[in-house]
Structure 1
Amino acid sequence: MTRHEKYQRLIDACRALPPTPTAVAHPCDESSLEGACEAARLGLIAPILVGPAERIRRVAEACGADIGGLEIVDAPHSEAAAAMAVQLVREGRAEALMKGSLHTDELMAAVVRRDTGLRTARRVSHCFVMDVPMYEQALIITDAAVNIAPTLEEKADILQNAIDLAHALGVAEVRVAILSAMETVNPKVPSTVEAAALCKMVDRRQVTGALVDGPLALDNAIDLEAARIKKIDSPVAGRANVLMVPDLESGNMLAKSLSFLAGADAAGIVLGARVPVILTSRADSLLTRLASCAVAVLVAKARREAADAVK
C-alpha cells in the first residue's frame, strides 16, 4: 500500500457529495487559509471565512490564495471569530467548524459554552485518524487532545464517539482495543479495571456498534503474532482499527510517536458537538488538512442521514 493511500480513499469518498458548508475560524495564516481554499477547490467544503476581513485578504494576497468567491464574515479578533463561527452553526449556515490560526482552547471554549455553544448530551472528544505507512488500515486513536483524565462515564461517550466515527468513514467491522500497559485486569492499574468495565457496558449494549476488547497492550492490540504468543483469544486482538487510550498524556505520546518515528500522518476531528470540528496543527501537511476536511464531510453526512431517519 502506497503512503497516503488511506487518506486519498477518504477524499475520493467525498467526491460525489456536495461541499459541506464550513465556518473557518480565524484563518489568518498561510497554512490555514491555503488548506481551506484547497478543500474548497476539491469540492470538500464550502468555506465561510470568519475573522478580521482585511487581515484575511492580506494573507490571501501574500500567499496567492484565491478567496474571490468565498464569503468573509468580519470578526475583530480570534475569540470573536470563534464565537461567530459557532453562531453560524447555530443559525444553520454551517454544518462543520474548522480551526484556523487560533489556539485550540479558544475555539473549543466557544464550542462547549453552555448557553451559546454546540453541546449535546454526548461528551465532546477528539479522534486522530492516522495513516500509518506500515499498517494496512487507518487507525483511529482517541482521546489524545481534549479530555485530560476522563472518568469511566466520560470514557463511554469517548468510545461511542469513536465507534460512530468509524462507521461514518465506512469501516465495515469496527474493532476497538481499549489500551493499557497489560492485557490482564489488575486492581493496582485503574485503566485495566475501567477497560473491563467498558467491555461489560458493551455486553449490556450501553455502548453499541463495535467489537470491543480490553485491557490490551499496544503490541497485542495491533499485532496478531504478539496476540498469539500471549494466547489472547479475541476478535479484536491483533486486528484493532480503533485504539482507545487511558488518558490524554498516553494518547498524545502514542500519536506523536507514530508521527515522528513511524512517519504517520494524523488527521484530527472533534466529535460530540452538534457538528464535527476540524482540528489541524500548524505542522500538518496540506494532504493531512484535506483528510481532516474529508473526515468532517463524512461525519456531517452521517449526521444528516441519522436526522432524516428519525423524521
Structure 2
Amino acid sequence: MQITNFKELNTHVRKTTQVKIVIAMADEEEVLLADKAIEDGIAEFVLIGDKERIQELIVKHHLSPAKFTIVHETNHKKAASAAVQMVKNKQADIPMKGLLHTSDFMGAVLNKESGFERIKRISQVTIFQDHSNNLKFLTDCAINIEQTLSVKKDIIENAVHLARTFGIICPKVALLSAVETINEKMPDTTTGAILVQMNNRGQIKDCIIDGPLSLDNAVSKEAAEIKGIRSSVAGAADILVGSSLQEANTLSKSLNFYAKFQTASVILGTKEPFIMTSRTDTQQNKVNSIAATCWLFQKQNDPN
C-alpha cells in the first residue's frame, strides 16, 4: 500500500492505534496545535509546561480540558528530559519540541545515558505534496552541515527507509547539482558519481540512484528529454538529495513560501522517533509533521 498524499496519510494514521505525543514546554501555539491534531484524530497529547499558563490558554481558546494531560514543569531542560523519560517508560510514544531551545531538547533526546539509542546518523527529511498531489522527499534540510561521502550515504539510506514506510518499495533517488556531468571542480558531482556506483554494487540498497542531476531533470521528464538524459530516475525522482544542507534548506523553504506546498518534517536516526518543527511552519504543516512521525512510529512497531 502506497500513501500518495497527506489526506491519505491522515486517514491511515486515524485507522491505526492512537499514538501519544508528549510536548516539552507547551505554550499557546503548541496547545492549539495539539487541539487541532486531536480533533483530526491523529494523536493524544501530554503537555509539559507551566500548568497554570496552559490551563489559562485552554480557557482562553474555549478548549476542552479533558482532551489534555498536563504535567507541571517550568525548567526547560527538565521538561525535555521528562518528555524523553515518559517515552522510555512507555507512558508516551513520541516526544515533541515545544517552546524551548533546540539544544535543550536535543540534549535530552541524544543524552548518552538517558536519551534515545542512535541506530544511524541523525538526518532530516522534508516530505512535500507537489502540484500533482503526490508526496516527494527532500533531504537533508536541517541537520548535517558537513556532508562527506559517508554522511551522504547515511542521509540517503534514512530517506529511503522513510519512503519505504510510505509504500514506495524501490524509491528513485536524484542527487541534485547544478549540472548533469562530472566536474572535478564541483565535489558534489564526483561524490554523486561514487554514490551511484555504490548503489550499482549493492552498497546502498533498496533504491535506484542517479546523479548528478539538476532539479529540472530530476522532476521533469520533458526537461530530461530536451537535455538527452536517459535515466529511470530523471523526471521521476521520489527522493531529492541536496548537494548541501544550504541547497536543501533553501529548496525546502521555497516549497513553503513560494510554491505554497503542504510539507512535513521528519527526523530519522534514533530508535524512537521524535518531532521538531520550524516556528515558521503553518499549523497544517506541523500537523502533517505529527502525522508523518506517527506513521513512522506505527510502521516501525507494526510493519504490517
- After TM superposition, give the deviation of residue 39 of structure 1 in Å: 1.4
Aligned residue type for 1:115: E
Distance change (3 Å), C-alpha of 1:136 and 1:38? closer
- What is residue 5 of structure 2 aligned with on the other side? 6
Q: Runs of 4+ in structure 1 displaced over 4 angstroms?
A: none
TM norm structure 1: 0.90
> Considering only aligned residues, what root-mean-square deviation do their CA atoms show, in Å?
2.0
TM norm structure 2: 0.92
Distance change (3 Å), C-alpha of 1:188 and 1:130? same
- What is residue 86 of structure 1 aligned with on the other side? 84
**SS at 1:160's partner residue?**
helix
Deviates more, 1:177-186 or 1:45-54: 45-54
Matches of 1:24 and 1:202, distance apart in 2: 39
- After TM superposition, give the deviation of residue 142 of structure 1 in Å: 0.7
Matches of 1:106 and 1:64, distance apart in 2: 31
Matches of 1:63 and 1:128, distance apart in 2: 31
- After TM superposition, give the deviation of residue 123 of structure 1 in Å: 0.6
- What is residue 260 of structure 1 aligned with on the other side? 257
Q: Does structure 1 conserve the Cα–Cα contact (< 8 Å) formed by 2:169 and 2:206?
A: no
Matches of 2:271 and 2:73, distance apart in 1: 22
**SS at 1:15's partner residue?**
helix
- After TM superposition, give the deviation of residue 172 of structure 1 in Å: 4.7
Matches of 2:71 and 2:281, distance apart in 1: 25
- What is residue 18 of structure 1 aligned with on the other side? 17
- 1:169-199 alpha-carbon deviations (Å, 9 max, x no partner): 2235411111111111222111112212222
Q: Does structure 1 conserve the Cα–Cα contact (< 8 Å) formed by 2:224 and 2:235?
A: yes
Aligned residue type for 2:197: K
Q: Does structure 1 conserve the Cα–Cα contact (< 8 Å) formed by 2:95 and 2:275?
A: yes
Count of paired positions: 301
1:99-248 aligned at under 5 Å gives the runs 99-132=97-130, 134-248=131-245
**SS at 2:37's partner residue?**
helix
Q: Does structure 2 conserve the Cα–Cα contact (< 8 Å) formed by 1:18 and 1:43?
A: no
**SS at 1:50's partner residue?**
strand
- After TM superposition, give the deviation of residue 72 of structure 1 in Å: 2.0
Distance change (3 Å), C-alpha of 1:18 and 1:272? same
- What is residue 70 of structure 1 aligned with on the other side? 68
Q: 1:286 aligns with which of 283, 286, 289?
A: 283
Q: Does structure 1 conserve the Cα–Cα contact (< 8 Å) formed by 2:175 and 2:192?
A: yes
Matches of 1:210 and 1:238, distance apart in 2: 16
- What is residue 296 of structure 1 aligned with on the other side? 293
Aligned residue type for 1:264: F
Distance change (3 Å), C-alpha of 1:222 and 1:100? same
Aligned residue type for 2:289: S
**SS at 2:74's partner residue?**
coil
Matches of 1:280 and 1:139, distance apart in 2: 18
- After TM superposition, give the deviation of residue 131 of structure 1 in Å: 2.1
Identity %: 34
Q: Does structure 2 conserve the Cα–Cα contact (< 8 Å) formed by 1:223 and 1:239?
A: yes
Q: Does structure 1 conserve the Cα–Cα contact (< 8 Å) formed by 2:117 and 2:270?
A: yes
Distance change (3 Å), C-alpha of 1:238 and 1:25? same
**SS at 1:302's partner residue?**
helix
Q: Does structure 1 conserve the Cα–Cα contact (< 8 Å) formed by 2:25 and 2:74?
A: no
- After TM superposition, give the deviation of residue 218 of structure 1 in Å: 0.7
Matches of 1:59 and 1:275, distance apart in 2: 30
**Contiguous gaps of at least 5 residues in structure 1:** none
